[in-house]
């Protein structure tokens, strides 16, 4: 459950980062409006040498990108390069800069015109396209989903909010800052989750390694070690050793055959429900699980209870 939550959280953070990284205000245009806008920008670029105000007009209208819709399709047009070209032209009216800008704008105009021209017979092309898209590698191809549209709306809202307070010229810089902040948060959460998982695994391995061998030890030796640990104030260790004194005592009494692979709960299940020793071993097992494997703080009271239950079980030294 915790793994699934962290995975969903990280996915959400990276989705927001991707939405912000798009960095477009999304001005919607039809194809005729798009070509008309390109024509108008070409005219402004041509006038910019003799009339610097033309470059300023273009810069004011090129903040963000364009979304051009035609024949049921939407194309994202990045206008950053045009904005950069008009800024250079405004700062330094130069024929070479103007001609380069005009060439690129006219190339866009030609591409738009070619897209709008209907081919004389597209049936063969459509059939070929269907065959290509029917291949296995294209099975996952799809249009924008509801989540994609939601991310786009969130992106627009954030960009408009930032533009209102900081101005449209500051949005790209602030946008990059927000993206890096979100990426950093996602990385920190991922690092924390991995660190916590490694720490828990190491703790389990440590607990397994801390369990001492019970080979060739009688219950009296366990009792001596338990009391020695209690005398030093090592209550957690004392309770742990006392439990194994009980297990060793029952083994020596013939209650079960020795088997080092058993867990404390498996030892408890070996005693029948009507056994008088079962309730005592259950108390010792619960105390061990809470203090040795769990997070309960061990203390002198818990150790005294362990000694009392050991005596009740029959662990009495002469």
Q: Is 257 a member of any domain?
A: yes
Q: What's the residue count for the chain?
A: 318
Residues 308 and 269 both lie in one domain: yes
- Both 25 and 158 in one domain: the answer is yes
In this structure, are 169 and 24 located in the same domain? yes
The answer as to whether 194 is a domain residue is no
How many domains, the chain? 2
Residue 17 sits in the same domain as residue 163: yes
Query: What mean pLDDT value characterizes the chain?
Result: 77
Q: What is the pLDDT of residues 76-115, one digit of tens each?
A: 887 888 888 888 888 888 888 888 888 888 888 888 888 7
Same-domain check for residues 75 and 183: yes
Tokens linked to 51: 């009339």
* Residue 292 belongs to some domain of the structure: yes
58 & 176 share domain: yes
Mean of the pLDDT values across residues 134-141?
Answer: 64
- Residue 195 resides in a domain: no
Is 76 found in the same domain as 155? yes
Specify whether 76 is located in the same domain as 32. Answer: yes
Residue 138 lies in a domain: no
Q: What is the dihedral sign for C-alpha 201, 207, 210, 216?
A: negative
Residue 19: inside a domain: yes
The answer, as to whether pTM is greater than 0.75, is no
Q: Are residues 63 and 172 in the same domain?
A: yes
pLDDT > 70 in the chain, percent: 73
Name the residue range of residue 273's domain: 219-313
Residue 199 has pLDDT above 80, yes or no: no
């Amino acid at each position: 459950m915790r793994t699934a939550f962290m995975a969903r959280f990280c996915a959400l953070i990276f989705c927001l980062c991707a939405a912000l990284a798009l960095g477009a205000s999304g001005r919607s245009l039809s194809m005729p409006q798009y070509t008309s806008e390109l024509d108008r920008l070409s005219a402004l670029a041509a006038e910019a040498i003799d009339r610097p105000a033309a470059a300023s007009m273009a810069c004011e209208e090129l903040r963000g990108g364009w979304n051009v819709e035609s024949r049921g399709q939407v194309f994202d047009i990045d206008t950053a390069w045009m904005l950069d070209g008009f800024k250079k032209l405004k700062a330094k009216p130069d024929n070479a800069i103007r001609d380069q800008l005009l060439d690129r704008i006219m190339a866009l105009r030609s591409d738009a015109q070619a897209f709008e021209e209907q081919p004389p017979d597209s049936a063969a092309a459509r059939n070929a396209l269907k065959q290509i898209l029917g291949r296995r590698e294209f099975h996952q191809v799809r249009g924008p989903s509801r989540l994609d549209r939601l991310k786009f709306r969130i992106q627009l809202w954030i960009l408009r909010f930032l533009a209102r307070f900081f101005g449209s010229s500051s949005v790209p810089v602030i946008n990059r800052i927000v993206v890096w902040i979100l990426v950093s948060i996602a990385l920190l959460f991922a690092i924390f989750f991995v660190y916590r998982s490694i720490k828990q695994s190491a703790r389990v391995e440590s607990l397994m390694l801390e369990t001492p061998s019970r080979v060739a030890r009688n219950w009296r030796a366990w009792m001596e070690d338990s009391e020695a640990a209690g005398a030093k104030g090592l209550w957690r260790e004392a309770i742990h050793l006392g439990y194994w004194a009980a297990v060793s005592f029952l083994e020596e009494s013939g209650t079960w055959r020795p088997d080092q692979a058993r867990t404390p709960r498996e030892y408890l299940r070996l005693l029948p429900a009507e056994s008088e020793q079962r309730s005592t071993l259950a108390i010792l097992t619960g105390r061990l699980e809470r203090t040795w494997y769990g997070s309960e703080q061990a203390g002198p009271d818990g150790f005294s209870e362990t000694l009392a239950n050991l005596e009740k079980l029959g662990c009495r030294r002469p």
